Structure 1
Amino acid sequence: MTTALPLSDLQNTSGGPLYMKLKRMIEEAVSTGRLQHGDALPAERDIADAADISRVTVRKAIDELVDQGLLVRRRGSGTFVVKPVPRMQQPLTRLTSFSEDMRRRGMVPGSRWLTRGLYHPTPEETMALGLSGSALVARIARLRTANDMPIALEQTSLPDDILPNPDIVENSLYQVLSQRDIRPVRANQRISAALLRDEETELLGVPFGSAALRVQRIAYLSTGRVMEVSTALYRSDAYDLVAELTIGS
């Protein structure tokens, strides 16, 4: 870290208050690649000692970089560099999976599994999916990534006869279902703003208190049966949801 952040030289650099000097030093280290996405900064006490400045000064510099989205604090772990995520536009007129969306953009989709299995349904799942009293629900929850960058948190529930073995889903749920000739033909989506909980911000690698786009989807088969209900939390710094409107006659 001494090479990435020459903190002992901070006092000798010119240009403004000490916290601004430290802020610029960290920004330069990130822009030149000396600090990479996911790298941890030294503890604030260690930075203060190495640069011979107060912890208040260190905290102010880091606070501004967290507000800018260049750094993120993870409770109990420390402060980490966050690589800027290119903004992506998602049309609302196409029914596609996350994996299809990312591949269409030339990106590699990925998943980190949080939940995957068969469960007794909640009352909400029973009602939304039209389940009988004895049916189970296939529930999968995962962190979705693009080129290894966290993009969204997604939870999907399906009737157990549509997905009897959730463990066979590796990446694309729709691809697995398509192999069984099960395909959604339409969906209703509800989009709203949401504040992320602390554990959600840690998973997505965004600052505490960040906002997200919540997309709730109900997908239907050609028979009219509900195939799935899902809720996804998309990083608001990465996603724009776009709809094309036409004027009726």
Structure 2
Amino acid sequence: MGNPAPELRRGTGVPAHVQIERWLQEAISAGQMAPGDRLPGERELAAGLKVSRMTLRQALAALEAKGVLVRVPGRTGGAFVAEPRIDCDLTGLAGFTEQMRRAHLRAEAAVLKAATVPAAAEVAQALEIRAGEPVHEIARVRSAGGSPVALEHSYFPAARLPDLLEEDLSGSIYDILKNRDLSPHTAVEYLDPVISTPDQAEHLGIEPGAPLMRIERTAHTAAGIPVEHAHDLFRPDRVRISVQCTTH
């Protein structure tokens, strides 16, 4: 760490662990510690701050809860600076590629599946077609800055997009829809916390059973035509979902 341990102020009404938390947060925000950097050991850090290890652990636990730190148990573990979380705003219906552009990160997609299949009942109802009609099923791992952050699983009506699977699916599918005058304009989305399966965990580089945020979405064009039904899974340690609300 580049900055010296602060002199904690007693009798200010601000607990010592909160002062430590703020000091570490400011150091990380200022770039004095980069993602992946390991903090000094608890014994060393507590001694430098002249606090008990219990007080230090309160500060580290608070930063871990905020996603600022990752604590790894064991002799070779410790507290590490976490990768910063990416803000994804659902308000404007921007696709993943656009969201990453706003965060100044390069969006990537690894296609796991791209096939035309009969629509299951749920998909057919969302896309307002008959069950069994053909839909394009596309599953992709989405990465930001080289790190996997989401699993996308989308369905598109094949009748409206007959040659969709012939396109380059490693980029923005929403851009493809826009070029066909089928750009998503509105959507209904539902958010649910879920637990990752072993298969999902492997694709996202996390432990099985780790929490994920599931977003179910049905997107429509400005004319009200349903063009996508999707189930996306986001890593909450890497992505923070936001929605802007206004009163009328």
Q: Normalising by structure 1, what TM-score?
A: 0.64
Partner of 2:3: none
State how 1:10-21 maps to structure 2 within 5 Å: none
Extract unaligned runs of 5+ from structure 2. 1-35, 39-69, 74-79
Identify if the C-alpha distance between structure 1 residues 126 and 207 changes in structure 2 by more than 3 Å, giving closer, same or farther: same
- The answer to whether 1:119 aligns with 2:125 is no
Extract unaligned runs of 5+ from structure 1. 1-29, 33-67, 72-81
* Contact persistence 1:69–1:206 (CA under 8 A): no
Correspondent of 1:31 among 2, 26, 37:
37
Q: Kindly provide the amino acid, as one letter, of the partner of residue 98 in structure 1.
A: F
The percent of aligned pairs where both chains have the same amino acid is: 27
State how 1:136-175 maps to structure 2 within 5 Å: 136-165=134-163, 166-168=165-167, 169-175=169-175
- The answer to whether 1:234 aligns with 2:240 is no
Identify if the C-alpha distance between structure 1 residues 70 and 155 changes in structure 2 by more than 3 Å, giving closer, same or farther: farther
- The answer to whether 1:196 aligns with 2:196 is yes
| Cα separation, 1, equivalents of 2:166 and 2:114 | 7
Compute the displacement of 1:245 (Å).
3.1
State how 1:1-249 maps to structure 2 within 5 Å: 31=37, 68=70, 84-132=82-130, 135-165=133-163, 166-168=165-167, 169-247=169-247
Q: CA RMSD in A?
A: 2.4
Compute the displacement of 1:120 (Å).
1.3
Q: Residues 88-134 of structure 1: CA distance to partner in whole angstroms, max 9, x if unpaired?
A: 12223111100111112111111111110211111221221112466
* Contact persistence 2:121–2:131 (CA under 8 A): no
Identify if the C-alpha distance between structure 1 residues 219 and 69 changes in structure 2 by more than 3 Å, giving closer, same or farther: farther
Partner of 1:12: none
Equivalent pairs, count = 175
Identify if the C-alpha distance between structure 1 residues 124 and 112 changes in structure 2 by more than 3 Å, giving closer, same or farther: same
Q: Normalising by structure 2, what TM-score?
A: 0.64
Q: Residues 189-211 of structure 1: CA distance to partner in whole angstroms, max 9, x if unpaired?
A: 11110000011111111122100
* Contact persistence 1:156–1:231 (CA under 8 A): yes
